[in-house]
Structure 1
Amino acid sequence: MAKPDAVRITTARSSAADDMRSRQRRYAISMTIRIVCFVAAVAVGPGVLRWVLVAAAVFLPLFAVIMANAGDQRDDGFSLPDGPGAHELTARDDEDRGK
């Protein structure tokens, strides 16, 4: 039977409320940038810059949704040894050592 991996506090996920708040904030910032792109596209007049701003405003929602839905992926690279070299300390191990 495989044992579940230990979770370190530094890699624990944030609470659901904090995660939702963070996603909403990222999405709101992205949509604010989109509105700025639309307004700037009208303000700059005809030219290449207008089309760049329009393209940014059109494709930004796609990237905003992808970024907002990105999960909380914390990893500090730490892993516990597994296999023949791994040793679990049990009560019997303490008794065998005379403690």
Structure 2
Amino acid sequence: MRKRRDGEVFRITGARQGLAEDVRGRQRRYVISMSLRTVAVIAAALLWNVERHVAIVALVLGMTLPYIAVVIANAGRENAPGLPSTFVTPPARPMIAPPAHDRAEAGAEDAPADSGAPRGEPGDRL
């Protein structure tokens, strides 16, 4: 005989990614952003006497990237609104119909009240 479990079933695909993986991803995004900032500041220093307009754009980019990198790195863990529900409802078991001779007996006893038979007036005795 099989044990019957009526509890909810957890779906593993609805689980978040691990904390270590999340932190590693944030660190990677931060290092990439700060590397771009370093390249922008070096480009601004090299281009200052050659192309001043490009150097100013690179300098502004180098000044704003740290703020953007910190905001992106501290954005928090991902939300998973598109994932399915974490609970799976168990499938409904189909009812087994009673044997045909039981249905015939039950049908005769449980005839509906409005079976087309003439009704008496209120107050008539049956």
Task: Quickly name the TM-score band, shorter chain normalised.
Answer: 0.5 to 0.7
Alignment deviations for residues 17-62 of structure 1 (CA, whole Å, 9 cap, x no partner): 0000000000000000010011000111241111111111111011
> 5+ residue gaps in structure 1?
1-5, 80-87
Q: Which has the higher helix share?
A: 1
Map of 1:53-92 to 2, 5 A cutoff? 53-70=58-75, 71-76=77-82, 78=84, 89=90
Map of 1:29-48 to 2, 5 A cutoff? 29-46=32-49, 47-48=52-53
Query: How many residue pairs get matched?
Result: 83
Q: Identity percentage over the alignment?
A: 32
CA distance in 1, matches of 2:80, 2:90: 28
In structure 2, give the amino acid aligned to 1:66. V
Q: Structure 1 runs of 4+ off > 3 angstroms?
A: none
Q: CA RMSD in A?
A: 2.9
